[in-house]
Amino acid sequence: MSKVNIVADKGAAHTLLQYCPDIENWPKSWSYEESDLAPGHLVVEFFKPFLLHLLARNLAASTLRRHRDHLWMLGGEVIRRRQEDPHLCRQPVEKVILGLLEEDGGPLIWPRITKQEQDAFDASCRKFYRFLMKSSEDGNSG
């Protein structure tokens, strides 16, 4: 999967900060210990192209907030699972994220959320999964 350089577009970076004003704090909010911060920052960087993609689609503010909040939940789940499974700590965060996503949605969130919340989370994860698969195809075809 190719990396996308999002800092090249200052306007996009500014818009992203308006959409996710606390994005730089996400890794700290997910962390259990200091060693979780570096992978947390990598998770944020992996999420940014998708967040920018959502912004470019001119979705309703409530839809944007929902997807943003679900990505925050997914990032927290990535860090939680890395804490519980030492094998995942040795894998790149991109691989861990891709291992949690599938066509049908994302991982079951712990502590449990309601079925309605899980369904909404899964919808965001499906959208993210499709974005990643399309990005991968586009990167492999050139």
76-103 per-position pLDDT tens digit? 999 999 999 999 999 999 999 999 999 9
- CA-to-CA separations, 137 to 22, 48, 134, in angstroms, rounded: 31, 18, 5
Position 112 scores a pLDDT of 85
Rounded Cα distance between 73 and 110, Å, is: 10
CA angle 114, 84, 122 (to 5 degrees): 30
Residue numbers in the chain where pLDDT is lower than 70: 1-9, 140-142
Q: Which string of b and e fits 60-99 if b means at least 16 CB within 10 Å? A: eeeebebbbebbbbbbbbbbbbbbeeeebeeeebeebbbe
**Encoding tokens for residue 68?**
């943003």
Position 140 scores a pLDDT of 62
- φ, ψ of residue 102 to 5 degrees: the values are -155, 175
Domain extents in the chain: 10-141
Position 123 scores a pLDDT of 98
Position 1 scores a pLDDT of 39
Position 87 scores a pLDDT of 96
User: What residues are paired with 102 via a beta bridge?
Assistant: 105
Rounded Cα distance between 80 and 68, Å, is: 19
pTM for this structure? 0.89
Position 10 scores a pLDDT of 75
